[in-house]
Chain A
């Protein structure tokens, strides 16, 4: 079964420092990977996705993610954190159980990013 794991419930970083939010995946076949962000009392917003191609994917708000097939990871990164980046971040993988005909996403448990001024 497809799954993603976010090993950290919370990540704390000082404003201006680089940040990393970790995600590892388990899929049978080529993974389709996504990152979403959720601000308080809001729905999830799409940040970026990896389907194929370059391992470094650039997304919204200065975020990027690196696909690493050997480590089955898709960590989210940003060179310089902002206080406004504080939110809940979700990694997701597309479920391939229907032979590629589905767009169902399986989400991780989320990582709360706290950026201190």
Chain B
């Protein structure tokens, strides 16, 4: 079983739609949680951190449920520019006090006009 699991999609949605991505992680030693966005042939870019209390940044809302080991990302009012791969990332404690960023396989979003 992968440490971080996501539905790879693709999710094809019209402009203006609301879309939700889910992610589960298997290791309870996981320390912190993030969503990254990666465009084709580019580096991953931090979209937002994910906190237990839930957090919102404009059209994006992230939630974390530590008991269920579940992370979500909600995108409202989708734009064409939201088309990308969304990566769920968990920072797990490795040896000593070192973190290991573990990536899910990514969910592809295609927003259509």
Are A and B part of the same complex? no
Interfacial residues, chain B to chain A (CB-CB below 8 A): none
